[in-house]
Amino acid sequence: MKYLLDVNALIALGHLEHAHHERVAHWLQAHQSSPLLTCSIAELGFVRVLAQAPGYGFSVAHAQALLSQIKESPGYSFTFVADGHDVSHLPEWVKASRQTTDGHLVQLANAHGAMLATLDAKIPGAFVIP
């Protein structure tokens, strides 16, 4: 199975002090043969959150470098997928503005034969990292 990591999964993986770092790292370690996907939304969200949150103390350049390091880490097989979906691809369960990105990422993952991997149990059709 292929997995598209969402923003929160990427942040938890990349930031050693994150409350769910061990959870994501252990899951990925157990699934090293699974191809991992990233996309523009997930990567930009990773950089934005790490650079914006005062508690993290990252600059944009530092967040970019960290993401590159994660994607090139031995044992992981990351592939960047292009995003050709417009708003017409949003699933019917998207009713609130806060669901738009999640719905978009679920559909993008499906289009690439993958599942959205997340820490958020409220996303229909996504795989919640145990």
Question: Checking DSSP bridges between strand 78-80 and strand 114-118, what pairing results, if any?
Answer: unpaired
For residue 89, the model assigns a pLDDT of: 85
β-bridge partners, 38: 80
What whole-number distance in Å separates Cα of residue 46 and Cα of residue 24? 15
Q: For residue 109, what are its two tokens?
A: 């993952």
CATH number for the domain harbouring residue 38: 3.40.50.1010
The model's pTM is 0.90
For residue 103, the model assigns a pLDDT of: 94
Q: Which tens digits make up the pLDDT trace of 103-129?
A: 999 999 999 999 999 999 999 999 999
Q: For residue 61, what are its two tokens?
A: 């350049």
Which residues, 6+ apart, have CB-to-CB distance to 63 below 8 Å?
A: 46, 47, 50, 51
Q: Which tens digits make up the pLDDT trace of 14-48?
A: 988 899 999 999 999 988 888 999 999 999 999 99
Q: Which tens digits make up the pLDDT trace of 1-17?
A: 999 999 999 999 998 88
CB 106 within 8 A of CB 123: yes
Closest CA to 110 of 97, 99, 124: 124
What whole-number distance in Å separates Cα of residue 58 and Cα of residue 15? 10
Count of structural domains, the chain: 1
Q: Which tens digits make up the pLDDT trace of 54-93?
A: 878 899 999 999 999 999 988 788 999 999 888 888 899 9
Q: Residue 67: what residue type?
A: L
For residue 16, the model assigns a pLDDT of: 87
For residue 17, the model assigns a pLDDT of: 86
For residue 49, the model assigns a pLDDT of: 94
Domain span at 78: 2-128
